[in-house]
Amino acid sequence: MAAHFIALSDLHLGYDESVLNDPKAQENLANEMAVICGGQAGRLVLNGDCFEGCVPRDAGEHDRYGYPPSMATAARSFFEKVTERIKFESLILVWGNHDYAMWKRLAASCGVPVFTNNLKGDVLLQRDGEIIKGANSFIEDVIGPASKKFPRIRSAYPNYILGRYWPYLVFHHGHLLDDLVLGGHGDAAYLALRLLIGEGKPTVNIGGEETIESIHKKTDAFIAAMWKFNSNVREEEWAIIRRGNEGKRCPSFPDEVASAWKIVTEEKQAEPLGRLAPWYINTLMADATTPGAIGPTTHPCYLFIGHDHGGGTMDISALDGRPWKLINTGGWTADGGCREPHSHVVVWNTSDDKPISVCVKIA
């Protein structure tokens, strides 16, 4: 059956601990996705950290082009494998902190503001195969020949909002305020950053006059400081920064492991997830309603996040009588010494009344 959309996050293409750097893993994931949606979907939504634009060994090329060749090679392979098996109407790139510099350079080259007033940051990069001015290099180098198989390609930051009326679907990577995702104090994970660059997690006063835009500006300064420090550091230093206080990295996935995948049942996320998500939703959607919008309904709206490499769903709040659910789209790297990535595919099939989150694990 066809799908309204398929959503993934945290592919980290180009990072040496990403399973999806292996073409065999890409092929098997693409096969599983094709089975889920019957080979046809409206949108492929990559909900942040699709790319790893900060691989230290390629720092020279990164400084010039905004992304390293190793990342571009992995990305072209991924898009080719997926579009060989699934026909999409559009590709939506929602940017995260690990491809932040790429987004900023792309936004500058396309002549669009880095933060739009409507909080969506939604920019068309390609329509009916015609690439807009400024996006040529990115689409040709990173998406490659597969770009011709996407009639439309869009870039969105910090949110991609799908739908003009309730129920809304909001895709947001989650890094503007980690408490939104972690539901607790994530300061420990930023200890190395604070010690090395003097910039820890941005502090936010939820009880004050804080807005999403003000959080964005604080986060912008934080990530800029991180990237500036990272421009010439050694790879082992970047490993410390990237994984905070975890202190170790996983071994690379051997071919026989990375090539074996299977779909397993949906996993539920831990309770703390989404502690501040209701505040984010109410702040974001306060001016989003339009005249004639559908009234209160039992059909929930959805906030899709990534960033913490988790996965699963939970109820978070209600806005004007409309329930909300939070869906974590997971990640495709091995963190904290484990050999299995937290890996989810979220799909909304045309015959269903809600999206489902299915976990794909190494067999």
**228 lies in a domain?**
no
**211 lies in a domain?**
no
Domain count, the chain: 1
- What is the tens place of the pLDDT at every residue in 323-341? 888 888 888 887 656 667 7
**96 lies in a domain?**
yes
- Taking alpha carbons only, the member of 350, 304, 344, 333 closest to residue 19 is 333
Q: Which range of residues forms the domain containing residue 295?
A: 3-184+254-362
Residues of the chain above pLDDT 70, percent = 70
**91 lies in a domain?**
yes
Q: Is the pLDDT of residue 246 over 50?
A: no
The residue written with tokens 């932040």 in the block is 100
Predicted TM-score of the model (pTM): 0.90
CA distances from 322 to 165, 169, 175, 209, 262 (A): 12, 12, 25, 25, 35
**280 lies in a domain?**
yes
For residue 248, the model assigns a pLDDT of 43
Separation of alpha carbons 193 and 200, rounded Å: 6
Q: What distance separates the 2 farthest-apart alpha carbons in the chain?
A: 56
Comparing 79-93, 129-143, 222-236, the range with the smallest average pLDDT is: 222-236
**235 lies in a domain?**
no
For residue 231, the model assigns a pLDDT of 65
**272 lies in a domain?**
yes
- What is the tens place of the pLDDT at every residue in 291-321? 445 555 667 889 999 888 877 788 888 877 7
Q: Are 51 and 141 in contact (CB under 8 A)?
A: no
Computed over every residue of the chain, the mean pLDDT equals: 79
Strand order across the beta sheet in which 40-47 lies: 130-131, 123-127, 152-156, 87-94, 40-47, 3-8, 344-349, 356-362, 261-264
For residue 149, the model assigns a pLDDT of 97
Mean pLDDT in residue range 232-241? 60
- Taking alpha carbons only, the member of 38, 50, 42, 21 closest to residue 329 is 50
Q: Kindly report the CATH number assigned to the domain that includes residue 57.
A: 3.60.21
